[in-house]
Structure 1
Amino acid sequence: MPELPDVETLLDAAVTALGGTRREGQAEMAAAVADAVAAQEHLVVQAGTGTGKSLAYLVPAVRHAFAEETTVVVSTATLALQRQLIERDLPRLAAALAPLLGREPTFAILKGRRNYLCRQKLSGAGEAAEDPDTELFDPRQLSAMGRQVKRLHEWAEETETGDRDDLVPGVGDLAWRQVSVAGNECIGAAACPFGQECFAELAREVAGEADIVVTNHALLAIDAMQGYHILPEHPVLVVDEAHELVDRVTSVATAALGDRAVSAAAKRAARLVEPDATERLGEAADGLALMVADLDPGRLDHIDEGLAGAVAAVRDSAHACITAVKSVSAEGDADTTAVRRRTLAALDEVHDAAVRLLESFEPPLRDRTSVVWLAKGPRTAPALHVAPLGVGGLLREKLFGDRTTVLTSATLALGGGFGALAAQWGLGRRTDTAAADGGQGEGGEKGAERTDDADTAAGEPRWRGLDVGSPFDHRRSGILYVARHLPPPGRDGLDERYLKEIEELIGAAGGRTLGLFSSMRAASAAAEEMRERLDLPILCQGEDSTGQLVERFAADEQSCLFGTLSLWQGVDVPGPSLQLVIVDRIPFPRPDDPLASARQRSIGAHGGNGFMAVAATHAALLLAQGTGRLLRSTDDRGVIAVLDPRLATARYGGFLRSSLPPYWETGDPEVARGALRRLDALAAERRPAPAAAG
């Protein structure tokens, strides 16, 4: 193989071919990724909006894949970024680098098996109608599902990928479940009569030959922790949107146990074995339902004798069913084999959840590594959940142990450093920070962190942290206004003084406002009030699909969009349609959040500051993400208005503010409103004049 060009040459060629300009932060990040891969050292890199971080990691990833004839895996948290990489960034990059590399780099996307249509399940005549899960839904839902399943059968004859995302318009989850299987439900390509045509297996084959494979954090966690090994061997892993990694891994590592799932597993087993065992499991489901009926939802620090007995009955009867089902022979009968496999998967999930629940209560409270809670509500079937208090150990052992990992996002340096998230990932303690460039970077302070020899000797992974800054001049482009004169937020909805502040800010901005609220109730209440007070279009999350609302907001400069969590991270509206971001309160986790409260208590019990490690870190991450909606291009200008005075007055306020870019700060409401009026007037001057009539 001829000698490959270096990363700098490849990056310059890619940027030129794509019509861009060289960005120092992008070049610095690309060089750091290449160095980390060469040194087999983990890298944590913060790259602010506008840096072009996708190219900064894709170029060295492609070069490494070529040099070592291997595959590099890129994991993302959101479908939007997956699509951007597969449909835009990678095709353009491959075409740009082909002349220098001798061929076009290849790439593929790989998702969990549940995302692909299963030909074997599709062929099971009558199986969907007999699915015990469908008994939970009313006849109208089942009728709609039947029409959607018919459409899926027709689509199966023409699709080349079987990928759910390629079906437009899509179908509901209930319908899709009738034609797909999870990884633990699959009988395997060797035993399946459709093994040679399996969409999931074909996707795996394509991925195994690709230079770059794009996947998601959930599948990454399943592959690393549950032993299915769906992804090809990959000595280098890039984790984009790395601020989401802990939550996604925690979700995969969480088990649930509810009477409906137990009953469904019993009904599945009843098709294969004698009724004695399945009747016991059905009775155990009834007992579990009875025991949780009078319990309040929330964290369970202790388990009483009745509930423990009900869970133990589920465990034991599920084990008996598993033994009975395993004794059923299915040689030569693919349909029976498939039913048997799916039945065992349902029974295993019930049994394993029951085991984990009971084991989690065995250690003393201070020494527990799991948390249990009961979730139920008007639209939520009662279920017990068990989750790990932390996933750092899992990540350290399963994800970082035998490969080089690059973790990147626009928001990783919380409180001015990487220590908070590094601890959650299991990368070790926060280390000293030294300026990477001798001082201020273009977009703010840039710095590097590296584990020291003591950390490495203790068995913790070697890692380096780097902040490459941002091309935005935050001090000149954005104002951080904290309403110090307002009272701290209360629990009884938005105070009239908060509503008045919102009204005056939006009035000064002439619309152009994204309102980020701590709850849907607060967002809806604010929207209703502003519709009464302002002659401007006020959009509110939940009134249409989020995508449609964002499109309408971007198209009308006078409109405002109010909402909650998904808007904190999912809105990208450059230009004059968004010049004011309002945050009603610091986004701490709810005090009754079972997982956050248990993690906070556990850290405190072992001598740490649980509030700062959990609640403040959670709030800092969301604040950085939410306020990052303001500046999406180098021409953007605007104001971030945080109505919660604690950001300026509380002891933890400095930690939160240092997690944000270096905006110009003020506590004077007239300064904020004056800036918004000027921006509104400037945008009005630039707006094209209406066409003359006739």
Structure 2
Amino acid sequence: MTDAIATFPDPETVLSRLPALVVGHRDAARLSVDGEITSLKFNEAARALTDEAHLVCNLPLITRKLRLNVGQTAASFDLLELFAFVRPARFTLPTIFGLAQSLSLAHPLTSDPIDEVAILGTLARCLLADLSADTYRWHKGVAATAMAMARAGWPWGPVVLGALGPRAERSGGLAAWQGLPEWEDGAPPPPPSDHSVSENEASQRLASLLGDGSEARPAQAQYSRSATHAFHPRTAQNAPNLALAEAGTGTGKTLGYIAPASLWAQKNGGPVWLSTYTKALQRQIDQELARLYPDPKERAAKTVIRKGRENYACLLNVEEAARISFAGAAGTRDAVLMGLVLRWLSHTRDGDMVGGDFPSWLGSYFGRARLGALTDHRGECLYSACAHYRRCFIERVVRKTRRAELVVANHALVMTQAASRKGDPDLPRRLVFDEGHHVFDAADSAFSAHLSGAEGAELRRWLRGRETATKGRARGLSSRVEDLLTDDDVAMGHLRDALEAARLLPGPGWLGRLTTDSPRGPYEQFLGHIRAQIFSRVSDARGPHGLECGTESPSPDLLKAADLLARAMTALSQPLTALAKRLIALLDEEADSLDSASRGRLDATARALSLRSDMVRAWGTMLADLKRTPDPAFVDWFALDRMDGREVDAGLYRHWLDPTKPFADTVLEPAHGVLVTSATLLDQRTAMEDEDWSRAETRVGASHLVLPAKRFSLSSPFDYAANTRILVVNDLRKGDVTQLAAAYRALFLAANGGALGLFTAIARLRAVHGKIMGPLEQAGLPLYAQHIDPIETGTLVDMFRAEEQACLLGTDAVRDGVDVPGSSLRLIVFDRVPWPRPTLLHKARRAAFGGALYDDMLTRLKLSQAFGRLVRRAGDRGIFVLLDAQTPSRLLSAFPDGPTPERVGLAKAIDMTRDFFNTAPSPENPER
């Protein structure tokens, strides 16, 4: 231990000797140790940060602005790291404003670096005072973790120890996982009853949720009553009560379906699953459930946020990473990451590292791959063989799910669970699919098959474990089940055969061999022939984007390679299937001697083996189909995936032409009641309402069911005519990025920020960002950008929401499901009509679902979703601008009734934007 650590320096002495630096959108500001504030240019700030340690906030974002790497800077004291340590599992925006807000401190009204640099010291002192206080809440493991991080070189380590004072001498281990509570099993819950939920009951529950004195919302009450159709007893097998509900923005559909769903769960003693497409809506529903269960303990017992295994911290992975990080061989950054993870681990609500209470901005600090290695994203769980099984977050969530009343899940999880556990009585029988317009896309992903290099390499790793001597670990199938099979020669024989057959899958270094035309084995050789066929058939192989071609008339060499690989797939699928069956047989043969934990391991491993065996057999069928007449139910193609011009994968891909068919078979038919809801289920409101609903039913799988769905639609209560404008700019030259950037710049300035720029291509987003960043910064308008700023999308949106003059550029993830009410979002600018990408898959679906009418429908739905971001609550005002002169008039029905879209020149659009926001609204529609 160094002397500095041993003496626990006085925090105030350290801070008084530490200059502070803030890098803004135009320039930087530095506060010297003498209290002098000076303005710096970016090159001067970069030099200062390189030469000397500073007090900063969000070092990765600062280094991006200054065009530095984090490793080039001196060991700076980042306030965000201190906050994550002092207040673990607590939310803050990764900005000075966010820290001040989280600490209940005053913040300058401007984001000028000159104003902000003076409060960095105050923020640091506030956090360190927390540590010193007798009332400090997050004391578990604090001293031991700080000591380990200090020894590893964390700049804040000695300061934190000094703030802890005598408590820093207390002993305590780093094993945060050992302090977690253990879960307990209980008897399986009985099956739910079949009591109906009446319309009157739903109305009464909704009124109770809203509380006394709440504003009357007739549309919401009507929605809640109509939604009860999904909560009546089923009258025939494989014929669920399906309700399709379109509810315009502002209807209040979330509480509208929570009312009957919660009633059904309580009356019948069974769970209702509320499924979303985005994590943002999962969080929103979780917040709304506080109305139903005001007591946090009751809410924790009766509701659960359910995600895939890859979202939760794996305690065994964390333990092994911590041991490596604090052993002395790892770098400081690894130790800092693990220290912050251990602090979070001791105080997290549910162990969710993706969208939960884990600081999302840490991904940009330390790399998403490092964080991903702390979860079970490869399916390597040891189940009951793991030393941490009884404390496992995932196992706890699974058990809570069985006894919860409301389970907030996501479409992908619901579909994969249903596909892998078909016929399982534990599967949910009452479902609500919010963001129902995404059901088609979620099903398309869940029920597809990809025979690619990455998929094959992942399967090999799952079976054989890590086969190289690189840092880290991967447990193969043997390490997960061998101890259960040592006395069973048959099972051990199947295991050995499977591991031997797995050698034919892509091995370590497969991608490098593929790109240098030196493949090994039948799998890699098949990929090599795919790559050759793609290059021979595409018209332009240059550029950064991926390439694809059809599977028709494959070359003789490719067919020969496919035959060899098909035989290899058979050699692999047979022992996988046999081993899965043997494990299931052992559950029966050894029923009297197996403990519940071992039974759980065998059952889980058998399911995992069956899934992968099914996948390998599907690959074999795809290979055989290359020389047969194509199955009209599927679309097959060859693809070469690229990222920024670099090849990352290649393979044979198969998707259902209509993925709602397997969705209906595996999810809808077994259910008893389902509500599918969205603000944009219908393509457009026309006199041909049945035709509009028919398209909606096709998109969600209702057309595959025996009984017709109950359909209802409610319009938004907002006065769009008074509060919104829709402009189509008709004098920009398409493809001219300079003109496009000028339009974004001028419109953002006219609105004085609060602007969301949407793009249909990342390349255009990046080009426009580079051209408008400087002018916006000069005007004092912060500019954030997806795919550019080293911050995950959800946090970027949070930062944008918090600053009324900020601007944000983004693509699909920002367009769909983002909720930014108030003045922070008052202008949306879309770069061009969001036509569907002209892929081979889309080409096939276009031909099957209506040709140009299908394109128009998809495009209108995207425009409608984008417009829906603009007005989120009563009183919101805003302008929607589409920068595409070639916008067909038939697409403009995507927008709500009220505002009439206007085709204007750019100059006129700028003037209208400026005038709109400079005009005081009427008393009935106050400005937000």
- Contact in 1 for aligned 2:307/2:413 (Cα 8 Å): yes
What does 1:641-656 align with in structure 2 at a 5 Å threshold?
A: 641-647=881-887, 650=888, 653-656=889-892
| Equivalent position of 1:522 in the other structure | 764
Residue type of the partner of 1:357? Answer: M
Structure 1: stretches of 5+ with no match in the other structure: 130-139, 429-457, 687-694
What does 1:90-105 align with in structure 2 at a 5 Å threshold?
A: 90-95=289-294
CA distance in structure 2 between the partners assigned to 1:460 and 1:321 by the alignment: 39
The 3-state SS of whatever aligns with 1:640 is strand
Q: 1:520: how far off?
A: 1.7
| Equivalent position of 2:68 in the other structure | none
The 3-state SS of whatever aligns with 1:206 is helix
Change (3 A) 1:659 1:508: closer
CA distance in structure 2 between the partners assigned to 1:167 and 1:512 by the alignment: 28
| Equivalent position of 2:278 in the other structure | 78
User: Would you say how many aligned residue pairs link Structure 1 and Structure 2?
Assistant: 625
Change (3 A) 1:463 1:67: same
| Equivalent position of 2:678 in the other structure | 409
What does 1:136-175 align with in structure 2 at a 5 Å threshold?
A: 161-164=350-353, 165-168=356-359, 174-175=369-370
| Equivalent position of 2:144 in the other structure | none
Q: 1:323: how far off?
A: 4.7
| Equivalent position of 1:617 in the other structure | 857
Residue type of the partner of 1:586? Answer: V
| Equivalent position of 2:201 in the other structure | 6
Q: 1:427: how far off?
A: 1.5
Encode CA deviations 1:559-590: one digit per residue, 9 max, x unaligned: 43222222212543333343221112110122
| Equivalent position of 2:551 in the other structure | 301
TM-score, normalised to structure 2's length?
A: 0.59
CA distance in structure 2 between the partners assigned to 1:235 and 1:204 by the alignment: 17
- Contact in 2 for aligned 1:207/1:232 (Cα 8 Å): no
Moved more, 144-153 or 615-624: 144-153
CA distance in structure 1 between the partners assigned to 2:695 and 2:215 by the alignment: 34
Encode CA deviations 1:90-138: one digit per residue, 9 max, x unaligned: 122223999xxx9999222222233344567778999999xxxxxxxxx
What does 1:41-440 align with in structure 2 at a 5 Å threshold?
A: 41-86=241-286, 88-95=287-294, 106-118=302-314, 161-164=350-353, 165-168=356-359, 174-175=369-370, 178=373, 180-181=375-376, 196-227=390-421, 232-263=426-457, 265-266=459-460, 268-269=463-464, 273=496, 277-281=501-505, 283-294=521-532, 295-296=534-535, 297-302=547-552, 303-321=554-572, 323=574, 348=613, 351-358=616-623, 361=626, 364-365=629-630, 367-377=632-642, 378-384=645-651, 385-401=653-669, 402-416=671-685, 417-428=692-703
Moved more, 503-512 or 401-410: 503-512
Encode CA deviations 1:306-361: one digit per residue, 9 max, x unaligned: 33433443343244245557679999998998998799589637624522432554
Encode CA deviations 1:178-237: one digit per residue, 9 max, x unaligned: 555479765766x87766554333322211112211111011101222226789443321
The correspondence for 1:666, drawn from 898, 902, 908, is: 902
Q: 1:514: how far off?
A: 1.7
What does 1:23-34 align with in structure 2 at a 5 Å threshold?
A: 23-34=217-228
Change (3 A) 1:469 1:388: same
- Contact in 1 for aligned 2:563/2:624 (Cα 8 Å): no
| Equivalent position of 2:154 in the other structure | none
- Contact in 2 for aligned 1:372/1:387 (Cα 8 Å): no
Q: 1:548: how far off?
A: 4.8
What does 1:469-488 align with in structure 2 at a 5 Å threshold?
A: 469-486=715-732
Change (3 A) 1:259 1:38: closer
CA distance in structure 2 between the partners assigned to 1:127 and 1:337 by the alignment: 29
Change (3 A) 1:26 1:244: same
Structure 2: stretches of 5+ with no match in the other structure: 1-194, 235-240, 468-475, 479-495, 508-520, 536-546, 587-593, 686-691, 924-928
The 3-state SS of whatever aligns with 1:288 is helix
- Contact in 2 for aligned 1:14/1:96 (Cα 8 Å): no
Change (3 A) 1:263 1:630: closer
What does 1:499-538 align with in structure 2 at a 5 Å threshold?
A: 499-531=741-773, 535-536=778-779, 537=781, 538=783
- Cα RMSD for the two superposed structures: 4.5
The 3-state SS of whatever aligns with 1:59 is helix
The 3-state SS of whatever aligns with 2:901 is strand
Q: 1:598: how far off?
A: 2.5
- Contact in 1 for aligned 2:416/2:446 (Cα 8 Å): yes
Moved more, 552-561 or 295-304: 552-561
- Contact in 2 for aligned 1:299/1:371 (Cα 8 Å): no
The correspondence for 2:917, drawn from 669, 672, 680, is: 680
Q: 1:145: how far off?
A: 7.4
The 3-state SS of whatever aligns with 2:715 is coil
Report the structure number with the largest CA radius of gyration. Answer: 2
CA distance in structure 1 between the partners assigned to 2:829 and 2:211 by the alignment: 38
Residue type of the partner of 2:231? Answer: V
CA distance in structure 1 between the partners assigned to 2:413 and 2:826 by the alignment: 37
CA distance in structure 2 between the partners assigned to 1:284 and 1:336 by the alignment: 33
| Equivalent position of 1:435 in the other structure | none
Residue type of the partner of 1:578? Answer: L
Change (3 A) 1:350 1:106: closer
Change (3 A) 1:45 1:105: farther
